[in-house]
A and B are shown apart, each in its own frame.
Chain A
Amino acid sequence: DAGITQSPRHKVTETGTPVTLRCHQTENHRYMYWYRQDPGHGLRLIHYSYGVKDTDKGEVSDGYSVSRSKTEDFLLTLESATSSQTSVYFCAISDRDQRNTEAFFGQGTRLTVV
């Protein structure tokens, strides 16, 4: 299995509080991604990173920010959590240098905003 660790695995937080989710990889892959998974929507890309300190927005980036200060860590922050951000969050990594760019996924973080 690819070395991807998400933390925490479960979190319950109150509306309006900041929350940070962590993704840690041991594969030295250049690309890292944050997705959210919601019923009927599949996986939607929040933000991604193509290198240290290089990040860009995905399709559902409003209310989220990210940081990548090291190759191995990619942090997702909800500045002020809302109930609409209750979801399961997945981190993924990939190596663009391969044409068949398989992505490897973490186990997910279930976030509940009450």
Chain B
Amino acid sequence: GDSVTQMEGPVTLSEEAFLTINCTYTATGYPSLFWYVQYPGEGLQLLLKATKADDKGSNKGFEATYRKETTSFHLEKGSVQVSDSAVYFCALTSDYKLSFGAGTTVTVRA
């Protein structure tokens, strides 16, 4: 079945540091890939998405590129802020069901 593996956390960074969260997937067919973010006490919200190979999703300074050859969708941000502290989930859908990774907790210190 479809599955997502993302790097384990927690990750602690200083403000303005570079953030990378690795995500790889296993899927049949041609999945769409997503990064969702969960701020403390809230539900998940979509951060960015990519629907086909070589697409780059971007939002709020975050980027991720759909790499079919390496089955990866790594999340990056060049300069993080304290407000980026959250749990980040990589996910895919190859039909209408979402499969999530375990989540990576990111803490950014001032």
Contact = CB atoms under 8 A, between A and B. Distances in A.
B108 interface: no
Contact of B43 (A31, A48, A106): A106
Nearest to A44: B100
B31 to A, nearest CB: 10
A105 B43 contact: yes
B51 to A, nearest CB: 5
Interface string A65-101: 0000000000000000000000000101010100111
Contacts of A102: 34, 46, 49
A99 to B, nearest CB: 6
Interface string B71-108: 00000000000000000010001011111111100000
B32 interface: yes
Contacts of B103: 42-43
A28 interface: no
For chain B, what secondary structure do more than half of its interface residues adopt (helix, strand, loop), or is it mixed?
strand
Nearest to B34: A102
Contacts of A43: 44, 89, 98, 100, 103
Contacts of A26: none
Interface string A20-45: 00000000000101010000111111
B70 to A, nearest CB: 21
A90 B93 contact: no
Nearest to B105: A39
B96 A101 contact: yes
Given A99-B51, A100-B32, A100-B51, A40 B43 contact: no
A45 to B, nearest CB: 7
Please give me the 10 A-B residue pairs with the lowest Cβ-Cβ distance, nearest first.
A105-B43, A42-B102, A96-B96, A43-B100, A105-B44, A100-B51, A42-B100, A42-B103, A107-B43, A102-B46
Interface of B: 32, 34, 36, 42-46, 49, 51, 89, 93, 95-103
Interface of A: 31, 33, 35, 40-45, 48, 50, 58, 90, 92, 94, 96, 99-108
